[in-house]
Amino acid sequence: MKKALKRGLYAVLLALLPFATGMAFGKTWVRILDFALLYVMLALGLNIVVGFAGLLDLGYVAFFAVGAYCYALLASPHFGLHLPFWLILPIGAFAAGIFGMLLGAPTLRLRGDYLAIVTLGFGEIIRIFLNNLDTPYNITGGPQGIDMIDPIRLGSFSLNQPTSHTVYSYYFLFLFFALATAFVSMRLQHSRIGRAWAAIREDEIAAEAMGINTRNVKLLAFAMGASFGGLSGGLFAGFEGFVSPESFTLMESIMILSMVVLGGMGHIRGVIFGAVLLSILPEALRYVGPIEQSLFGKIVVDPSSLRMLLFGLALILVMLLRPAGLWPSPARKRELLAHGETAKHENTNIYDAGR
Ligand X SMILES: Nc1ncnc2c1ncn2[C@@H]1O[C@H](COP(=O)(O)OP(=O)(O)OP(=O)(O)O)[C@@H](O)[C@H]1O
Q: Point out which residues bind ligand X (CB under 6 A).
A: 351, 355
E strand intervals along the chain: 75-76, 81-82, 146-147, 153-154, 157-158, 242-243
Closest distance between another protein and the C-beta of residue 219, in Å? 12
Which CB atom, from 192 or from 355, has the smaller least distance to ligand X?
A: 355
**Closest among 83, 66, 122 to 247, alpha carbons compared:** 66
Binding of another protein at residue 213 (CB under 8 A)?
yes
The entry of another protein, ligand X, none near residue 147 (CB within 5 to 8 angstroms by kind) is: none
φ and ψ at residue 83, rounded to 5 degrees: -75, 155
Binding of another protein at residue 210 (CB under 8 A)?
yes
Closest distance between ligand X and the C-beta of residue 206, in Å? 17
| Number of helices (H), then strands (E), in the chain | 14, 6
Answer left, alpha or beta for residue 297, where phi above 0 means left and psi between -120 and 50 means alpha.
left
Binding of another protein at residue 206 (CB under 8 A)?
yes
Binding of another protein at residue 208 (CB under 8 A)?
yes
Within 312-341, the residues that bind another protein by CB under 8 A are 331-332, 334-335, 338-339
Query: What span, in angstroms and rounded, lies between the C-alpha atoms of 248 and 123?
Result: 8
The entry of ligand X, another protein, none near residue 224 (CB within 5 to 8 angstroms by kind) is: another protein
Closest distance between ligand X and the C-beta of residue 354, in Å? 6
SS3 308: helix
Which CB atom, from 199 or from 262, has the smaller least distance to another protein?
A: 199
φ and ψ at residue 267, rounded to 5 degrees: -105, 115
Closest distance between ligand X and the C-beta of residue 346, in Å? 17
Q: Residues 2, 3, 109, 192: which binds another protein (CB under 8 A)?
A: 192
Binding of another protein at residue 346 (CB under 8 A)?
no
Q: Residues 136, 162, 211, 340: which binds another protein (CB under 8 A)?
A: 211
Query: What span, in angstroms and rounded, lies between the C-alpha atoms of 263 and 279?
Result: 12
Give burial (CB, 10 Å; 0-12/13-18/19+) of 80.
exposed
- Residues interacting with another protein, by CB under 8 A? 184, 187-188, 191-196, 198-199, 202-203, 205-214, 220, 224, 331-332, 334-335, 338-339, 350, 352-355
